[in-house]
Structure 1
Amino acid sequence: MKLDTNDLKDLAVGAAFLGTGGGGDPYVGRLMVQQCLDEGLEVELIDPSEVPDEALVIPTAMMGAPTVLVEKLPSGDEAVASLKRLESHLGQRAFATMPIEIGGINSTIPLVVGARLGLPIVDADGMGRAFPELQMETFGVYGVPGSPMVVSDEDGDQALILAKDNKDMEWLSRGVAIRMGGCAYIAEYSMTGADVKRTAIPNTLTLAMRIGRTLREAKKRHLNPFEALLELLPQTLYHHGRIIFSGKIADMQRETRNGFSMGRARIDGLGEHAGVMEIEIQNENLIARVDGVVKAIVPDLICVMDSETAEPITTENLRYGQRVTVMAVAVPEIMRTPEALAIFGPSCFGLDHPFTPIETMPR
């Protein structure tokens, strides 16, 4: 499947939704891919089933604080350089690249890499959303080592990281990214096609496009875009969704700390939703409480959307006074196993509430 401009617009919207607030502004990534298309380059998606079992796949991404990305825009060559350096270290050429996460700009960085290097992009990822730390991958949960990895910046600086485990890889590379200005571009979790089929969440790029298209077409036909999206989700691996709150952002606290965007949003209820919602943020939305009662919790998605346009809002773009609707969505079952929750469940973020699936949460 070769992507065009309309696909990119839908992908950016859908990826912002699936990113649950994180992953960086997808608008920046869309412009980078559009530049590739304008230059006559092709962006080709392939299904995981099309990857030979023995083929080498090298995922590529941005890492760092999304708030930094707003002011420190990439040139588009950084992740390309990381992949090429990792190929050199491994002594093997990549058959394809793929996202490590479907959220935000990291849905599009591999598209740029694929277009620049003439590689297909596997329609799958390792998070099914966005997470703030690199060990929080289904790849790693199910046995794929994240390193060796390469970190690159816009000045041509690079670091090759060989770590004893995936958590150590995250710690080392985070320090490098901080010294590169707060965000950098990486190649990691090199794996075989067989590993992709075993550990990745399939077809998330095309799902993001379906989400964007569903919202766009509903608005064009003057239908309720939230209802249209809720009708779509049961047809996917993200099998359940519900609106858990709507209101006005009354307070937004945000800071960049230890390479992450940390914060808290307070939303005062409007209409049928009384009370106050608070959302805790570490790059992504982690937990949503209404008057102290948990309504959704990581790894399930907590998506903040503009109440008028139904456009997803990334955490760095949340502002006082915005009218928002908050939707919670169930993640695929591969992300809810005990092994997965040990890597990216609530306790991994210091939250004292156990994971409770959104479909069993009290309304």
Structure 2
Amino acid sequence: MTAKHRRIITNQLIDDIALGATVLGTGGGGDPYSGALMAKAAIAQSSKPVEIIALDEVQDEWMVVPSSMIGAPTVALEKINSIEQMTVAFEAMELALGEKIDATFPIEVGGFNSLIPILVAAQKGIPVVDCDAMGRAFPESQMVTFFLDGLPSAPNTLADEKGNVVTIHPLDGVWSERFARPITEQMGGSAAMCDYPMRGHNLKASALGATLTLAAEIGEAIRLANQQGKSGVDAILKLTNGHLIVQGKVVDVSHETSGGFVKGGVSIQKLNHDGATSDRDVYVQFQNELLVAHYGQGPNELSQDTLLASTPDLISILDHETGMPITTEQLRYGQRVDLIAYPCDRKWRTSKGIEVAGPNYFGYDIQYLPIEQLAT
């Protein structure tokens, strides 16, 4: 493995990853601003440089564990997470396994969750692997490629900012979600979590590689586009093979935080190029992440005929002028936005992938159709 496969994590790289991962986080994945601040503080305090290594550089016998947060993104707006609780959950995993962990990585690509492994890596002196288990952000613990491939979830460790630590041994990812979610609620709606410990050869076979690189490329493209007076949205569409669904104005937002999730919807009034309004609004429904987009002014108007895009494909809401991603908790009336959608990884388009994270799982009575088909 040559040096070009390794990257030293810098403040600029953190900013680019945070920005690009927020796009790929499809409205969820946590607050990128606080995550970036914590990651920068962690590398500044580290005794040695923190590296991102390629997936194929992971040794087969290594023990590797993801580092993440679980809970509703809205909670983090008032309940700031601590750097220490991430390490507490990680070290609780080492205790449960009876061995040291050689590397960490993000469980999902999201503005905050993509940066959590940097905090842990800086404190533990280990590398971050350029991969994740979703290629985007999903709301539930079993919605990972590891579950699709039949890898065990146990043990799981959870920690809050007060010092509480819980270790559980669920049968699989579904049971992990059932146990971890109510524990998270008791921890204040947000907790540090480690799950799916595995050997390096399992990670290389099941994880989605180079997703942090993609996030950094998207973040850099948005940054450069704005510096050069170009379209950040166009730059994102090019990198993601995406499709522009609608340009418009946010005219209604509803959301509630319950059960460890933030759930709701946003209505976007389509604007023509001359600024005139169209008679066809678009409604996007979410559970932490944006899940379905369809014509109409509310959730009851979703049907196969009105469908514009659906999970497991990615849906993102971007600022019309800058291309900056807008998370579900940041949506406000009057925002000028571009709604885009783009293809998920092929693993999510298998029958099991659609069963685990397709529209039917979330209670939407529609058939999944790839965005390439819907966009035509």
1:78 to 78, 82, 85: 85
- Partners of 2:170 and 2:375 lie apart in 1 by 42
State the shift of 1:145 in Å. Answer: 1.2
Equivalent residue number for residue 36 of structure 2: 30
- Partners of 1:20 and 1:227 lie apart in 2 by 17
- Partners of 1:339 and 1:348 lie apart in 2 by 11
- Partners of 1:25 and 1:176 lie apart in 2 by 21
- Partners of 1:74 and 1:228 lie apart in 2 by 32
Question: One-letter code of the match for 2:204?
Answer: K
2:289 to 280, 284, 290: 284
Write the mapping of 1:191-230 to structure 2, written as runs, cut at 5 A.
Answer: 191-230=198-237
Tell me, what secondary structure is at the counterpart of 1:106?
Answer: coil
1:184 pairs with 2:185: no
State the shift of 1:73 in Å. Answer: 0.6
- Partners of 1:328 and 1:231 lie apart in 2 by 12
1:18 pairs with 2:24: yes
- Partners of 2:347 and 2:101 lie apart in 1 by 26
Question: One-letter code of the match for 1:281?
Answer: F
Equivalent residue number for residue 67 of structure 2: 60
Bigger Cα displacement from structure 2, 266-275 vs 105-114: 266-275
Write the mapping of 1:90-169 to structure 2, written as runs, cut at 5 A.
Answer: 90-169=97-176
> Could you list the runs of 5+ residues in structure 2 that have no partner in the other structure?
1-6
1:39 pairs with 2:39: no
TM-score after normalising by structure 2:
0.93
1:298 pairs with 2:315: no
Give a deviation string over 1:93-126, Cα, whole Å, max 9, x none: 1110111001121000111111111110110001
Question: One-letter code of the match for 1:13?
Answer: L
State the shift of 1:43 in Å. Answer: 2.4
Give a deviation string over 1:197-254, Cα, whole Å, max 9, x none: 1111111011100000011112212222222222223xxxxxx211101111111101
Equivalent residue number for residue 244 of structure 2: 243
Bigger Cα displacement from structure 2, 266-275 vs 91-100: 266-275
1:254 pairs with 2:219: no
Tell me, what secondary structure is at the counterpart of 1:58?
Answer: strand
State the shift of 1:140 in Å. Answer: 1.1
Equivalent residue number for residue 349 of structure 2: 336
Give a deviation string over 1:171-213, Cα, whole Å, max 9, x none: 1111100000001001110011111111111110111000000
1:320 to 333, 336, 346: 333
Tell me, what secondary structure is at the counterpart of 1:133?
Answer: coil
1:8 pairs with 2:14: yes
1:353 pairs with 2:358: no
Question: One-letter code of the match for 2:60?
Answer: D
Give a deviation string over 1:135-161, Cα, whole Å, max 9, x none: 111111111111110000001101101
- Partners of 1:165 and 1:228 lie apart in 2 by 39
Tell me, what secondary structure is at the counterpart of 2:12?
Answer: helix
TM-score after normalising by structure 1:
0.96
1:87 pairs with 2:100: no
State whether residues 46 and 122 of structure 2, in contact with CA within 8 Å, keep that contact through their aligned partners in structure 1: no
> Could you list the runs of 5+ residues in structure 1 that have no partner in the other structure?
234-239
Equivalent residue number for residue 175 of structure 1: 182
1:308 pairs with 2:308: no
Q: CA RMSD in A?
A: 1.2
Question: One-letter code of the match for 2:23?
Answer: F
State whether residues 67 and 193 of structure 2, in contact with CA within 8 Å, keep that contact through their aligned partners in structure 1: yes
Give a deviation string over 1:255-314, Cα, whole Å, max 9, x none: 001110001111111115831010101000000002351111001111000111110001
Number of equivalenced pairs: 357
State the shift of 1:327 in Å. Answer: 0.8
- Partners of 1:159 and 1:37 lie apart in 2 by 27
Identity, % of aligned positions: 41
State the shift of 1:86 in Å. Answer: 0.9
Question: One-letter code of the match for 2:220?
Answer: R
Tell me, what secondary structure is at the counterpart of 1:349?
Answer: coil
